[in-house]
């Protein structure tokens, strides 16, 4: 095999559904986009070769395999795994970015390990302190961006402003929103009603208004009504919120499915409405927008859900390529330098 | 009017829907429970008299009016309102409890004012530091208790253990769950993965296992699947979570309603499923369990939603009576003393 020179390194091994699902997703992406090129598929070579063969994908330059003998499992302790599994597919994939052989990584693996290894090996963009995970959350008529959803559970007010900048650039670059409105999630729209972190962050965010379109404080009631394009919060709140909303949607779906099967009349009615239910499922599907990027690093890292199916993988590959194309390190570096200077003056 | 000696003081004035809705809810409650007695209806006497008359409720001992000339509005600043509107219905109602003329208060008014005035005038039960708001959140096959949902946005680890105790007694007394399982909401079930507050709280909660059935850490994914009966978190997280879930449900409902009206086939199907949709709406209705109690004070305070309709008011009156009947101040005092001693030893 020649020296790999790729664009997106895909960790094929860490998924809950196994490497076959990842490879199937890749095959779908390749079929859909004939121009897609520069994939480095990282994992156990013999296994990946046979999976690619089964999908009728050839190792022909569009896709090359990079061998890695180990796998970081979901229940591995993140930092321990990074230390002990030196030849893990996830770490090899990140190293391909570090050494300039790829520009981004996509992984469904252990979130903690991905964030820790990504942060340690790729380092934050100058001026930023910590990366942030940004989720795209679907709503009835679009979506909003929520960050941080778990990279940094002990966010500081300064890091909250950094997250606002990261959210702004992400919304612009990948979603095409020109001047995204940014809101700080708290428990009431009166100033001073939140906790210490949100009150201080609000002060800093107001001071950064020359650099971001800061709408102000928003409460939970307004998260889904698209008052703002980007909702920022600390990684503890964001992670709980995202997972709880997913859990609520599953709960509602179970209940409704059960109710609709209760008698023949309802079953018939449900049949007539089938397309409406399918559209709803599709509309609120958290996998619709593929992976969740870890923003603020010198290189693109996309975390896909551990149980991503092939379609989700396919979408995540899309997101990965968009992000790599639009990665604006120097613009972010300029903006954060100004924002940091503004905070110093407060 | 004779000296009022009542059980539940109802602030008739603070509701978004006006006093007529509150009085209508009261009329429903009186009709449903002929034994209901000892209501003190607090607000502008002439207005309340005419509303009671319109509802054909007589001021006959079951209900007595206590006049208060002022009203705290939703957009009043909580502490300012308490200082300036001395004759506000909400404050008069709380004072009836303070002076022993009633045992509990029900209000739909300004949450901040109710919590502040309640805490200042009724004081926490000995051993507790701050009260907590507890919501009952409906799920597909029951409910869970979530606290704190906003009384204390800067909760400390010690107060988190207090919230666990309050949640336990509330679940036992009002919901009849003998030994409620309690979970601490965080961002992963491995120890040390949360923020500083959740990690320290987890330590304290483990030490309190002699007094509470502490299940351990739970993440957002498991909030709605009834892994535990009582979910505890700080007031910042809880408030955001509760409001966001409400916002998501409204969003999903809008979307589905719109989809089901798109063509005649769907409209017909929806008609056949109408009862299923109604049952779902009822099942996940946050007003089903009436008011949200402010736990941990020397007296019962129930906060009903600002826009509670008559049915929600009726349910809240029920909750109020149950809580007053089951108010276990001395048991809570004993338990918290032991828990506090345990924390001291850590």
SS3 annotation, chain A: CCCCCCCEEEECCCCCCCHHHHHHHHHHHHHHCCCCCCEEEEECHHHHHHHHHHCCCCCCCCEEEEECCECCCCCCCHHHHHHHCCCEHHHHHHHHHHCCCCCEEEECCCHHHHHHHHHHHHCECCCCCCCEEEEEEEECCEEEEEECCCCCCCCCHHHHHHHHHHHHHHHHHHHCCCCCEEEEEECCCCCCCCCHHHHHHHHHHHHCCCCCEEEEEEEHHHCCCCCCCEEECCHHHHHHHHHHHHHHHHHHHHHHHHHHCCCHHHHHHHHHCHHHHHHHHHHCCHHHHCCEEEECECCEEEECCCCCCHHHHHHHHHHHHHHHHCCCHHHHHHHHHHHHHHHHHC
- Using DSSP bridges, classify how beta strands B230-232 and B104-107 pair: parallel, antiparallel or unpaired: unpaired
Write phi, then psi, for A60 (nearest 5 degrees): -115, 25
CA separation for the pair B294, B93 (Å, rounded): 15
Task: Give the residue from A80, A142, A184, A187 with the most B CB atoms within 10 Å of its CB, the best one to mutate.
Answer: A187
Residues with Cβ within 8 Å of residue B16, at least 6 apart in sequence: B74, B108, B306, B307
User: Are the Cβ atoms of B269 and A269 closer than 8 angstroms?
Assistant: yes
Q: What is the pLDDT of residues A215-243, one digit of tens each?
A: 999 999 999 998 999 999 999 999 999 99
Cis amide bond preceding B148, omega within 30: yes
Contact B273 A255 (CB under 8 A): no
3-state secondary structure of B63: strand
Phi, psi of A121 (to 5 degrees): -90, -30
C-alpha separations of A109 from A9, A115, A146 in Å: 13, 10, 21
To probe the interface with A, which of B140, B150, B190 has the most A CB atoms within 10 Å? B140
Going by C-alpha positions, the residue among A4, A58, A3 that lies closest to residue A26 is A58
CA distance B234 to B143: 19
Q: How far apart are CA B183 and CA B202, in angstroms?
A: 9
3-state secondary structure of B170: helix
Across the interface, which of A187, A247, A259 has its CB nearest the CB of B225? Answer: A247
Task: Label residue A1 by pLDDT band (50, 70, 90).
Answer: very low
pLDDT at residue B192, as a whole number: 81
Of residues A206 and B191, more confidently modeled: A206
Q: Which chain B residue lies closest to A245 (C-alpha atoms)?
A: B245
Peptide bond into A148 cis (omega under 30): yes
Residues of chain B positioned with their CB less than 8 A from the CB of A74 = none
Judge: A270–B265 Cβ closer than 8 Å, yes or no: no
| Region of residue B35 (left: phi > 0; alpha: psi -120 to 50; beta: else) | alpha
d(CA A197, CA A186): 10
Cα separation of A15 and A169, whole Å? 29
Q: Could you give the CA distance from residue B305 to residue A234 in angstroms, rounded to a whole number?
A: 27
Bridge partners, B146 (sequence order):
B135, B231
Average pLDDT per run of 10 along chain B, which is 346 residues long? 72 93 95 90 96 84 92 89 95 96 94 91 94 94 93 94 96 89 92 90 95 96 93 97 94 94 95 94 82 91 90 90 85 93 90
Q: How far is B241 from chain A (nearest CA, A)?
A: 6
Distances from the Cα of B6 to the Cα of A8, A125, B41, B123, B320, angstroms: 72, 65, 10, 20, 13
**Chain A contacts of B256, Cβ < 8 Å?**
276, 280
Q: How is residue B104 annotated by DSSP? A: E
Residue of chain A whose Cα is closest to the Cα of B198: A236
HEC string of A204-243 equals HHHHCCCCCEEEEEEEHHHCCCCCCCEEECCHHHHHHHHH
What token pair was written down for B287?
A: 């007003």
Please, which pLDDT band fits residue A2 given cuts at 50, 70 and 90?
very low
* Residue where the block lists tokens 């180990």: A70
Residue with tokens 């209940």: A255
- CB-count exposure of residue B32 (10 Å: 0-12, 13-18, 19+): exposed
Question: With an 8 Å Cβ cutoff, are B224 and A250 in contact?
Answer: yes
**Residue A187: which of B150, B196, B198 has the nearest Cβ?**
B150
Q: Are the C-beta atoms of B147 and B166 separated by less than 8 Å?
A: yes
CB A240 to CB B241 under 8 A?
yes
Element (H, E) at B89: helix B89-98
Cα B342 to Cα A194, B101, B211, B339: the distances in Å are 30, 37, 10, 5
Contacts of B154 in chain A (CB under 8 A): 195-196
Which domains does chain B show, CATH number per domain?
1-122 (3.40.718.10), 134-286+327-346 (3.40.718.10)
| CB-CB neighbors (< 8 A) of B236 in chain A | 186-187, 194-195, 198, 237
User: CA distances (Å), B274 to each of A256, A267, B262, B333, in order?
Assistant: 12, 12, 16, 49
| Predicted local distance difference test score (pLDDT) of residue B288 | 75
Angle between helices B310-325 and B19-32 (to 10 degrees): 60
| Alpha-carbon gap, residue B102 to B41, rounded angstroms | 11
Question: CA of B281, closest CA in chain A: separation in Å?
Answer: 10
Q: What is the dihedral of CA B219, B224, B230, B233, to 10 degrees?
A: 40
pLDDT the model gives residue B59? 60
CA distance B202 to A4: 47
Q: Min CA distance, B255 vs chain A (Å)?
A: 5
- The backbone torsions φ and ψ at residue A254, rounded to the nearest 5 degrees and listed phi first, read -55, -50
Which pLDDT score is estimated for A174?
80
pLDDT in tens, A21-51: 999 999 999 999 888 889 999 999 999 999 9
C-alpha to C-alpha distance for B263 and B284, rounded to whole angstroms: 27
DSSP code of B222? G
Q: What number of C-beta contacts closer than 8 Å exist between A and B?
A: 196
Considering only the beta carbons, identify the residue of A185, A236, A272 that sits closest to B268: A272
Nearest to B138 by CA among B244, B29, B15, B289: B289
Q: Half-sphere exposure (CA, 13 Å, Cβ side) for A298?
A: 16
Q: Give the percent of chain A with pLDDT over 90.
A: 76
Among chain A residues, the shortest Cα distance to B193 is held by A153
Closest CA to A185 of A193, A175, A176, A177: A193
**Strand pairing of B142-147 and B132-139?**
antiparallel
Which chain B residues touch A239 with a CB distance below 8 Å? Answer: 187, 219-220
Helix (H) or strand (E) run with residue B236 in it: helix B235-260
Considering CB atoms only, which of B241, B260, B270 is closest to A244?
A: B241
């Amino acid at each position: 095999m020649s020296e790999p020179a790729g664009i997106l390194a895909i960790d094929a091994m860490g998924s809950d559904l196994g490497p076959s699902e990842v490879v199937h997703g890749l095959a779908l992406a390749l079929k859909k986009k004939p121009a897609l090129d520069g994939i480095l598929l990282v994992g156990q070579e013999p296994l990946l070769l046979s999976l690619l063969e089964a999908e009728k994908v050839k190792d022909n330059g569009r896709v090359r395999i990079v061998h890695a003998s180990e796998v970081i499992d979901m229940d591995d302790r993140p930092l321990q795994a990074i230390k002990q599994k030196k030849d893990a597919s996830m770490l090899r994939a990140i190293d391909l970015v570090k050494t300039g052989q790829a520009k981004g990584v996509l992984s469904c693996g252990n979130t903690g390990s991905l964030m820790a290894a990504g942060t340690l090996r790729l380092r934050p963009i100058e001026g930023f302190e910590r990366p942030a995970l940004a989720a795209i959350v679907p709503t009835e008529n679009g979506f909003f961006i929520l960050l941080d959803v778990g990279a940094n559970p002990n966010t500081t007010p300064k890091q909250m402003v950094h997250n606002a900048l990261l959210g702004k650039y992400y919304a612009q670059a990948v979603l095409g929103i020109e001047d995204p409105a940014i809101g700080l999630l708290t428990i009431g729209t009166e100033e001073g009603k939140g906790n210490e972190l949100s009150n201080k962050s609000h002060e800093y965010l107001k001071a950064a208004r020359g650099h971001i379109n800061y709408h102000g404080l928003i409460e939970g009631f307004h998260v889904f009504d698209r008052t703002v394009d980007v909702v920022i919060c600390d990684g503890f709140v964001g992670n709980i919120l995202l997972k709880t909303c997913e859990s609520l949607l599953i709960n509602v779906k179970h209940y409704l499915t059960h109710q609709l099967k209760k008698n023949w009349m309802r079953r018939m009615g449900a049949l007539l409405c089938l397309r409406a239910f399918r559209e709803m499922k599709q509309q609120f599907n958290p996998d619709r927008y593929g992976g969740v990027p870890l923003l603020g690093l010198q290189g693109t890292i996309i975390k896909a859900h551990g149980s991503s199916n092939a379609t989700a993988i396919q979408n995540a590959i899309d997101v990965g390529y968009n992000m790599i194309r639009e990665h604006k390190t120097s613009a972010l570096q300029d903006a954060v330098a100004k924002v940091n200077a503004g905070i110093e003056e407060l």
